[in-house]
Structure 1
Amino acid sequence: MKLDELPRLSLGFLPTPVEDLKTLGAELGISLSVKRDDFTGFGGGGNKVRKLEFLMADAVAQGVSTVITTGGHQSNHARMTAAAARKFGMKPVLVLRGNKPDNWQGNLLLDHILGAEVDFLDPDAYFEQINPRMQAHADAAEARGEKAYIIPLGGASALGAMGYVNAIRELAEQYEAQGRKAPDYICAPVGSGGTLAGMTVGCSMWWPNTQVLGIAVTGTAVPFSERISVMANDAAELLGLDQRFAPEDIRIENDYVGPGYSIPSDEGNAAILRAGRTEGVLLDPVYTGKAMAGIIGTVQAGGIEKGSDVLFVHCGGTPALFPFSEQLTADLTY
């Protein structure tokens, strides 16, 4: 298989388990399970570890000494990229959306512990400045005689998407070993789109009857369905597949972003408390809380039929809980 021919470095503690969420599923009237990719382990865990296994293999093969990437203040991808860079003897440079904070909490604290060079961009100018700023860091590294490697936002590329093509294969093997049929839906948060692109390609290979559903956690100038279809097609081409995907093949729920990226929403916070109090599962306000709110809301609106078998991909993000303690304790009565 072409997937196995692509260079890959082992980083994650794989395979991650699949856990039934029986109480929450029963409350919603569905069969609900979770793929625990918050347990991938390396660098604090999360979905980006799977992408970095392929991206860092490429960087190592090129003799890279400086890795540059981007994300928000509480970017799991930035934190795990910094950890991966350190593991392979590289310097991490993180260009983050947001002003320099007064307190380094959550993922920002971990970025500091990992010794990343952090460059903050004004959030209003971020999308105009991010590519030139990352390139400027790469040019500066090259001027020092270093080899630089830029990883796009969220590791969202055809190569990065291989992590979730491989994850679907892992899931298919787990379900087959347990004698379970493929789920009706597989759901995940969507920020940069690489995870969903990989899931889309992977499901076309191993779970063709499973519908991939993305819950947007941020807005985007170019619709996610368009961006993800392009990435999925590039990934399919990389794998030598004939299948191609149109924007209408990509299903995204856009009603659960809330006030904006990395800004907690009331629905997301409610979903965090509900998952914690029914299942003992920790979600976060940036990604997984909003995604769970999307699953709950889509079931209630009839977009996911009652009685469906739904698999939620937990993409990690526990460090991002702690900077938002004030919002998440608003229900305290003592």
Structure 2
Amino acid sequence: MKLEDIPRLSLGFLPTPIEKLDRLSAEFGIDLSVKRDDFTGFGGGGNKVRKLEFLMADAVAQGVKVLITTGGHQSNHARMTAAAARKFGMKPILVLRGNSPAVLQGNLLLDHLLGAEIDFLDPDAYFTEINPRMQHHADQATARGEKPYIIPLGGASALGAMGYVAAVKELAAQYTAAGEAAPDLIVAPVGSGGTLAGLLIGCALFWPDTKVAGIAVSGSAVPFSERIAVMANAGAELLDFDRRFDPADIRIENDYVGAGYAIPSLEGNAAITKVAQAEGMFLDPVYTGKAVAGLLDCVKRGSIPQGSKVLFVHCGGSPALFPHAELLTQDRTN
């Protein structure tokens, strides 16, 4: 099946722009640009909009009435899934890792405004309870006569990965129109893995000389390279693409997670401040802050060579800045 033949609903404000980061490029000795997927627009924007264009086409075709997904306390994916549910007349149910807070801030505030039903799971029990809890909500919906649809964490599936296959096709057209050569390397945060799986397939199809690297922002019981290879291979099969991805060939940088997923790191916070003050661009403490910190450290260490042409995928997430205002203003002097 060709990419164009897979059902897709238009949600994102596409194509998103590519921005040159001239000041950081000069400081670090690379040619650094950003794919501004924080500007995808729908539901507050972010990379998950691209995945939802394919996942929602499947849900709408099935006549779904209850859309169920999961994520962290400040999940961008959960927020955008709730928005997509409302756009297509569905009820959103979000099963989130973390205890119910006294005040809803950041993405949780937006979830509330969207009228999502939020089911908070104790962080220690989350990974054992998450699938049974989502299935419980699905069973309840079925009992009410409402068709449910469960979207996995981060929209990470072969179908969801098509969003970033399409993104690479979009990028290739943008670079060609600008008369620019393809980047040497695409770098993206890795949480659930679907974005990187799509980038791998997309580069194999449209930019075969461009490498892909992921900066892990969380730990993983199964190595990310193995999880992503499974998704990428399933996605290639969906496209009848005769290409197989080996975990050993998938580059994941695992040294920038910090204390854990959604726990801000000193390096990530420093990157947030640096990029804001150097380029006027906002990162977030969960994904992009840690990922840019990793990217820049790889340049310093030489694993991204000087002179490389690098494209960073900005996956959004600025609402997650606001719950961490106190932490991010510790250097305040007035």
Coarse TM-score class (shorter-chain normalised): over 0.9
Residue in structure 1 matched with residue 287 of structure 2 by the alignment: 287
Matches within 5 A, 1:172-187: 172-187=172-187
Are 1:261 and 2:261 matched, yes or no? yes
| SS, match of residue 252 in structure 1 | strand
Task: Give me the whole-angstrom Cα distance separating, in 2, the residues matched to 1:97 and 1:296.
Answer: 30
| SS, match of residue 27 in structure 1 | helix
1:42-79 Cα distance to aligned partner (Å, 9 max, x none) = 00000000000000000000000000000001100000
| SS, match of residue 94 in structure 2 | strand
Task: Give me the whole-angstrom Cα distance separating, in 1, the residues matched to 2:184 and 2:266.
Answer: 28
Task: Give me the whole-angstrom Cα distance separating, in 1, the residues matched to 2:246 and 2:158.
Answer: 16
Residue in structure 1 matched with residue 63 of structure 2 by the alignment: 63
| SS, match of residue 245 in structure 2 | coil
Shift of 1:327: 1.1
Are 1:220 and 2:220 matched, yes or no? yes
Residue in structure 1 matched with residue 38 of structure 2 by the alignment: 38
Matches within 5 A, 1:93-242: 93-242=93-242
| SS, match of residue 245 in structure 1 | coil
Fraction of identical pairs, as percent: 75
| 2:298 partner amino acid | T
Q: TM-score, normalised by structure 1?
A: 0.99
1:168-209 Cα distance to aligned partner (Å, 9 max, x none) = 000000000001101011001000000000000000001111
Task: Give me the whole-angstrom Cα distance separating, in 1, the residues matched to 2:250 and 2:15.
Answer: 26
| SS, match of residue 136 in structure 1 | helix
| SS, match of residue 50 in structure 2 | helix
Task: Give me the whole-angstrom Cα distance separating, in 1, the residues matched to 2:237 and 2:15.
Answer: 26
1:138-193 Cα distance to aligned partner (Å, 9 max, x none) = 00000000000000000000000000000000000000000110101100100000
Task: Give me the whole-angstrom Cα distance separating, in 2, the residues matched to 1:93 and 1:22.
Answer: 42
Task: Give me the whole-angstrom Cα distance separating, in 1, the residues matched to 2:56 and 2:305.
Answer: 40
| SS, match of residue 277 in structure 2 | helix
Residue in structure 1 matched with residue 47 of structure 2 by the alignment: 47
| SS, match of residue 285 in structure 2 | coil
Shift of 1:330: 1.2
Task: Give me the whole-angstrom Cα distance separating, in 2, the residues matched to 1:174 and 1:64.
Answer: 35
| SS, match of residue 271 in structure 2 | helix
1:312-333 Cα distance to aligned partner (Å, 9 max, x none) = 0000001001000111111112
Task: Give me the whole-angstrom Cα distance separating, in 2, the residues matched to 1:150 and 1:318.
Answer: 26
Q: TM-score, normalised by structure 2?
A: 0.99
Task: Give me the whole-angstrom Cα distance separating, in 1, the residues matched to 2:14 and 2:209.
Answer: 25
Task: Give me the whole-angstrom Cα distance separating, in 1, the residues matched to 2:308 and 2:331.
Answer: 32
| SS, match of residue 215 in structure 1 | strand
Task: Give me the whole-angstrom Cα distance separating, in 2, the residues matched to 1:43 and 1:274.
Answer: 27
| 1:190 partner amino acid | V
| SS, match of residue 58 in structure 2 | helix
Task: Give me the whole-angstrom Cα distance separating, in 2, the residues matched to 1:303 and 1:92.
Answer: 42
| 1:268 partner amino acid | G
| SS, match of residue 283 in structure 2 | coil
Residue in structure 2 matched with residue 83 of structure 1 by the alignment: 83
Task: Give me the whole-angstrom Cα distance separating, in 2, the residues matched to 1:332 and 1:312.
Answer: 29
Task: Give me the whole-angstrom Cα distance separating, in 1, the residues matched to 2:150 and 2:126.
Answer: 16
Task: Give me the whole-angstrom Cα distance separating, in 2, the residues matched to 1:119 and 1:169.
Answer: 37
Quote the RMSD (CA, aligned, Å): 0.6
Shift of 1:290: 0.5
Provide structure 2 residue ranges, at least 5 long, that are not aligned to the other structure. Answer: none
| SS, match of residue 60 in structure 2 | helix
Task: Give me the whole-angstrom Cα distance separating, in 2, the residues matched to 1:227 and 1:264.
Answer: 24
Residue in structure 2 matched with residue 252 of structure 1 by the alignment: 252
Task: Give me the whole-angstrom Cα distance separating, in 1, the residues matched to 2:297 and 2:102.
Answer: 35
1:123-143 Cα distance to aligned partner (Å, 9 max, x none) = 111110000000000000000
| SS, match of residue 332 in structure 2 | coil
Shift of 1:30: 0.4
Task: Give me the whole-angstrom Cα distance separating, in 2, the residues matched to 1:266 and 1:146.
Answer: 46
